[in-house]
Every structure is written in structure tokens, then in C-alpha cells.
Structure 1
């Protein structure tokens, strides 16, 4: 299960416990760079089920997640947005699982073939450094295409 999916299920559990409703109508997005945290819960849609203002709703969800979640280390509320900071152990687990993958960053093959023609020197003239440059550029483009599926 991905980190985002796990975090969404933890938030959904918090909403169910705090506001006694089962909803998945909430948005989790990356936190803006000027704020602390890695994930942001937009709390404005939750005010319908919480019957509170966005700041109080965000604070209640944040306190629940810090106390009961294995993911969330800290939170801060900015105008109805709940910024979540995840525990270091979560990031260690994520990066460890990434580094154990043998095909890190490579997409699955899509079945299409692409021909990249990148070296065509004139055989009647001597080879020079410019030919090597084109060979290396072509090889690099071919490897990028190979990694992207």
C-alpha cells in the first residue's frame, strides 16, 4: 500500500471516530514549500460533517492523528489547512523500499518500438571528436527512452 493511500485511510478513520460519519470526500495534497509538513488536508469540505469552523476541524483531526496514527509526528493548522509532518520512521521505510527495487525509476514497457538514429559519419572523411559527441548524445537519448518504457 502506498504512503498516500495509507495516510488517506488514517484520515478517514479519524473522521469516522471524531465526527461519526464515513466519508472519503476530502483532499490530501502536497504541502506548499513555505509551510511545514509534507501533506496537507483541506478541511473546508469537512465542516459540513463536523459542524465546526475549518480551524477547529483541522485541529481536532490533527490531534487525533498525532495521538493514534503510526504515520503523523506533528501538525500545524493554517487557515483551515491541516499540514501534516510524518514520522522519520515512515520516510526511512519509504526510501528503504525504493532502494531495494531493481528497476527504480523505470516504467513498464508499452510495446512500442522507437528507432533512434544518432551516428552517421561520412566514411570518406576522418572521424573526430564531434562524432563521439553525437554518439554519446544518441546513446543517452536511447537510455532515457529505455527507462521511460
Structure 2
């Protein structure tokens, strides 16, 4: 990435605007901030999203953990029983509308060079669908979504670094 880790991290933490520049992502919306650190930065949140790819449209909620001191973010799909627990606590959370069995992953940023003017972003999503997809369709979705995400993040980093 053509920017320091701090800049890349600021893009990764701002889920609410990712729908503006990530292909196939209709939106992300922070539904509830569960925890913050001493400086007020979010460390745990429930984030709702909607993904629209050629073979699948799905709404879902992720439990997202942020580790600002390590420029690391981790996420996992809330399962139905977890959604029910949050709803019983009075938190309005959407269950997955179908198509996804499980989603989890992580991303983190490292400095690329000694002067920290560039960064490496490691992105490791794991997605398991609940509907059978032919191998070619699964590969197309994975390649298209992952590539679109990485290009979107890179382009956003370039845009805010100007």
C-alpha cells in the first residue's frame, strides 16, 4: 500500500464508508459499539453488511474486534443463536439472510520499509457458503470479491493520502 500503516489502518477501521468504494459491497453499518479502549477507539463492534455478487445477495452481521496497537482487525459471522442473544439484550441485530454458513478472518498492516512510508496489508478471509456452488462459481465469487476488496482498499488509501 502506498501509505504508512497509520493511514491504511484508518481506512480499515472505517467500515461505514466501505460500501462507497468496495465493489459488490452494498453497505456496512456499525450497529453497536460494544467496547472502546482508553482513548475512545472502538475495539469491539457489531457491523451489519450486505453483499451483492452475481450468484448471491446476502445480509449479515459480523462481530468485529479491532487491535489498534497492532493494526489488526478480526471478524466472524454472528450465528442465529448469537443474534437471538443480542436481540434479547435489546440490540437490534440482523441474522444472516441465507447463503453464508460461516465467515471469519483477519487483516493486519505492517510497515513495508524502514521509513514507514509504505505498508503491507495482509487480508485473510474464510467464507463458507450454505448453498452448494459449482467450483467455477465459487472461484469466481472468491476471486472477484477478494480482488475488488483489495483494489478498493488500495484506491481509498491512495485517495486519502493525497
> Greater relative contact order: 1 or 2 (C-alpha under 8 angstroms, separation 6 or more)?
2
Structure with a larger share of its residues in strand: 2
TM-score by length of 1: 0.26
Going by fraction, where is helix more abundant, 1 or 2? 1
Rg larger in structure: 1
